[in-house]
Amino acid sequence: AQSVTQLDSQVPVFEEAPVELRCNYSSSVSVYLFWYVQYPNQGLQLLLKYLSGSTLVESINGFEAEFNKSQTSFHLRKPSVHISDTAEYFCAVSALGGTSYGKLTFGQGTILTVHP
Amino acid sequence: NAGVTQTPKFQVLKTGQSMTLQCAQDMNHEYMSWYRQDPGMGLRLIHYSVGAGITDQGEVPNGYNVSRSTTEDFPLRLLSAAPSQTSVYFCASSYGGTRDEQFFGPGTRLTVL
């Protein structure tokens, strides 16, 4: 089975400041890694994903995440946030095999609030 | 494409009542899933389907039933509602399985009194 831990439930930052949302996972098999974002009163949208290859993946709106296999982490970063980045962010893993094949396991979520 | 649609948006039930949450997708996706979202707990998988006629249990299946008679539709049935089922329910679909993006519906906010 897989588990995902998001180390911060809430992260308040000021506009144009950098931010890091932390995610650690546990799995007995190899996994794919995802970050989803949920804006207020909406469903989740994929922000970025790591499948293989370069351990640094980027989204179209300036977020990036780095897969660290030794530390089993997939932290999300942005060098300069905007008010519009205010949302809840979910880290998720999907197992490549075993009984959990095809199922997404989510972390608890991190609420990012960007203040002017 | 409408994507993933869910009805109703809001629902209030009394304990013991039954109801069906509807989910439909028009992307010809094989995989469909139901999640519940509770504060501080992220999303938890209730049931999922890998194709028409095939369903399986997720992490929290008790009190819920599903069926998948067509590729497009994946309804979630609450058999006898309990206050512990007060939650926001999301339906999601994806083309394949483990490596593909899941597309989420807008959610159904359910309150059980």
Would you state the torsion angle of the CA atoms of residues A58, A60, A61, A63, taken in this order, to the nearest 10 degrees?
A: -10
Which residue of chain A is at minimal alpha-carbon distance from B10? A41
* A2 confidence band (pLDDT: 50, 70, 90): confident
Cis status, amide bond into B8, omega within 30 of 0: yes
Reduced to 3 states (helix: H, G, I; strand: E, B; else coil), residue B21 is: strand
Residues A59-73: tens digit of each pLDDT:
988 999 999 999 999
Q: CB distance B99–A109 less than 8 Å?
A: no
Average pLDDT score over residue span B53-69: 95
Residue type at A110 in one-letter notation: T
The answer to whether B50 contacts A96, with C-beta atoms less than 8 Å apart, is no
Tell me the pLDDT band of A97, cut-offs 50, 70 and 90: low
Show residues of chain A in contact with B45, CB under 8 Å. Answer: 103-105
How far off is chain A from B98, nearest CA to CA, in Å?
Answer: 4
Q: Which chain A residues are Cβ-neighbours of B40 within 8 angstroms?
A: 9, 108-109
**Cα–Cα distance list, A99 to A29, A30, A96, B106 (Å):** 10, 13, 10, 29
Is the confidence at residue B96, as pLDDT, over 80? Answer: no
Q: Which of A105, A110, A111 should be substituted to probe chain B, the one whose Cβ sees the most B Cβ atoms within 10 Å?
A: A105
A24-82: pLDDT as tens digits: 999 888 889 999 999 988 899 999 999 888 889 999 889 999 999 999 999 999 999 99
- Do residues B110 and B9 lie in contact, with contact meaning Cβ atoms separated by under 8 Å? no
Contacts A4 to B, Cβ<8 Å: 42
Please report residues of B whose CB lies closer than 8 A to that of A109: 40, 42
